[in-house]
Amino acid sequence: MKITREMIDHVAKLARLKFGERELEGFISQLNEILQYVEKLNELDTSGVPPTSHMFFEKTPMREDKVRDVPSPTDKLIENAPRREENFYVVPRVIE
């Protein structure tokens, strides 16, 4: 499996990243080197082996749905916004 220019462009679009030409060339060869290394997983027969995502995780813990003290009031959270108006986040226009 070799990553092509078209695939890289597609993945960059999914990841919302943009690269310059030179940066892109570097990425293609580095990602190919890493993926080539990862190919070694195909040496193993994993048919019938269940996948593991979490080690000691049995079930999603449930809790009562009740109002608790919030660690931080809304205005403290929104103070971190790079652009805001009153208690709203400001973003470029989404709908014409």
Query: Which positions touch another protein (CB under 8 A)?
Result: 1, 3, 7-8, 10-12, 14-19, 23, 27, 30-31, 33-35, 37-38, 40-42, 44, 46, 49-57, 60-61, 63, 71-72, 76-77, 79-83, 89, 91-94
Least separation, in Å, of the C-beta of 61 and another protein? 5
**Residues 39, 1 contacting (CB under 8 angstroms):** yes
Least separation, in Å, of the C-beta of 26 and another protein? 8
Q: Where are the beta strands (DSSP E) in the chain?
A: 84-85, 88-89
Residue number with CB closer to another protein (16 or 67):
16
Least separation, in Å, of the C-beta of 12 and another protein? 7
- Alpha-carbon distance of 79 to 40, in angstroms, equals 48
- Alpha-carbon distance of 35 to 38, in angstroms, equals 5
**Residues 37, 31 contacting (CB under 8 angstroms):** no
